[in-house]
Amino acid sequence: MTSSSALHRGLAWAAGELRSRNVKYSHARVLPWSATARFTVGSDSFWIKISPLSQSAAEAAILTRAATLGLRSMPRLIAASEELGACVLAHVEQTAQLREHHQAEEAASAISADLAMAGAGALAVPALSVDTCLAGILRACRATPWWLTPPVARALAETISTRQDDVTELDRRLDGTHTVVHGDLHPGNVLPTRDGLVIIDWADAALGHQLWDRATYRSATGYEDRADALSPLYPVLCALKELFDYSRMPDPCPGAGYSTNLPTLVAYASRRALSLLRSLAAQPTWKEALS
Ligand SMILES: Nc1ncnc2c1ncn2[C@@H]1O[C@H](COP(=O)(O)OP(=O)(O)O)[C@@H](O)[C@H]1O
Ligand SMILES: [Mg+2]
């Protein structure tokens, strides 16, 4: 479970890994699903990231492989603790603003291609499909999760449980080459540096179709490519992925000192769930929309 005390335990561990007592930290952010803080040791700058255990394991697995391949488009992993669900990463110095959206998508696919060449299938990251998302969301809705208001949870469960045929069809469309999907591709996770773009935040990485990243990125930025025949899928995929991520969130921890209050997060998740409901309602069946 992520909390400010987990962050302090993680920072103490990071200090041990870096063989220094002189750890100074700043910019801590504590949320129910992750805690992040920047810290310095002497003149070197690092980040610690603490996520629910499986997610930090995915980030460590991906960054370890990137290091063996010498990929400079991802942050350098300094240390990882499975027990604490923590990773220590070298600070990536951002030197400009991201201007060209297509470059972010291209950078993510180039990383996927490099990891695929190196046998991405063997990485310890979960598989991502429409079916797994839907099953996770349904399970969460039935248990009345803290991140959704009960009426929205009920409406969402009712709607998506009638969509099994569509799910099968959508997964068929996403069949083909499965490779590493970043899982949370948006401009905040793409840092332009002197050496090119660096993509951070691999905690939601999964093995699946590249379209998941495109859907997430385009919905975060409004970036469009009118020639893209699959674009009607993106709002649905994006909302599914986001709600699936919520569905895997640990319960909040009382007294954790979160940086955002829980009612704000509930209101946000409920808005996203309503947007998924609207996307579903706008398409009588995904099968028809795609034919
Ligand atoms: N290695 C890094 N270099 C530079 N900034 C980082 C690094 N890791 C994290 N950050 C900063 O911390 C923020 C949160 O970290 P991130 O890994 O994206 O976690 P979250 O899952 O909370 O979005 C990032 O948006 C970025 O501003
Ligand atoms: Mg991020």
pLDDT tens track for 53-65: 889 999 999 999 9
Kindly tell me if the per-residue pLDDT of 250 is higher than 90. no
| Ligand 1 lined by 2 (C-beta under 6 Å) | no
Comparison of pLDDT for 198 and 53, the residue scoring more: 198
From the CB of 75, is ligand 1 less than 6 Å away?
Answer: yes
Interval between CA 188 and ligand 2 midpoint (Å): 6
Q: Does the C-beta of 91 come closer than 6 Å to ligand 1? A: yes
State the pLDDT at residue 227.
Answer: 81
Nearest CA to ligand 1 atom 4: 92
pLDDT at 70: 96
Sign of CA dihedral 78, 28, 146, 278: negative
- pLDDT given at position 68: 95
Q: Whose CA is nearest to atom 23 of ligand 1?
A: 201
Sign of the CA dihedral running 103, 104, 107, 108: negative
* 289 pLDDT higher than 80: no
Output the residue whose Cα is nearest ligand 1's atom 14. Answer: 36
Residue 189 in this model has a pLDDT that exceeds 60: yes
**The pLDDT of residue 79:** 96
Identify the weakest region by mean pLDDT among 12-21, 28-37, 172-181, 224-233.
Answer: 224-233
The vertex-273 CA angle with 136 and 176, nearest 5°, equals 50
**What is the pLDDT at residue 256?**
82
pTM greater than 0.85: yes
DSSP 92-104: ----S----HHHH
Residue 121 has pLDDT above 90, yes or no: no
114 CA → ligand 1 middle, Å = 22
Is-contact 220 241, C-beta < 8 A? no
Q: Whose CA is nearest to atom 13 of ligand 1?
A: 36
Q: Which residues of 99-108 are buried (b: 16+ CB within 10 A; e: fewer)?
A: eebeebbebb
Domain boundaries along the sequence of the chain: 4-290
CA torsion, ordered 222, 224, 226, 232, to nearest 10 deg: -70
CA of 36 to the centre of ligand 1 (A): 7
pLDDT for the residue numbered 291 = 58
Distances in Å between the alpha carbon of 63 and those of 19, 142, 237? Answer: 22, 35, 25
Q: Is the CB of 92 inside a 6 Å radius of any atom of ligand 1?
A: yes
Residue of 7, 47, 55 to mutate, ligand 1, most atoms within 8 A of C-beta:
47
User: Which pair of tokens denotes residue 187?
Assistant: 């401009």
Q: What is the pLDDT of residues 132-144, one digit of tens each?
A: 999 999 999 999 8
Name the least confident of 170-179, 216-225, 239-248, 282-291. 282-291
**Residues of 206-218 as b/e, b for ≥16 C-beta within 10 angstroms?**
bbbbbbbbbbbbb
pLDDT band at 76 (very low <50, low <70, confident <90, very high): very high
CB 285 within 8 A of CB 32: no
* pLDDT band, residue 229 (cuts 50/70/90): confident
Ligand 1, residue 34: give the atom nearest the CA: 22
pLDDT value of position 3? 66
Average per-residue pLDDT for the chain: 90
**Res. 173 pLDDT band, cuts 50 70 90:** confident
Rounded to the nearest angstrom, the distance between the alpha carbon of 214 and the centre of ligand 1 is 20
Q: Is the pLDDT of residue 1 over 60?
A: no
Cβ(185)–Cβ(213) below 8 Å: yes
How far does CA 52 lie from the centroid of its chain?
12
Of the pLDDT bands very low, low, confident and very high (cuts 50, 70, 90), residue 172 is confident
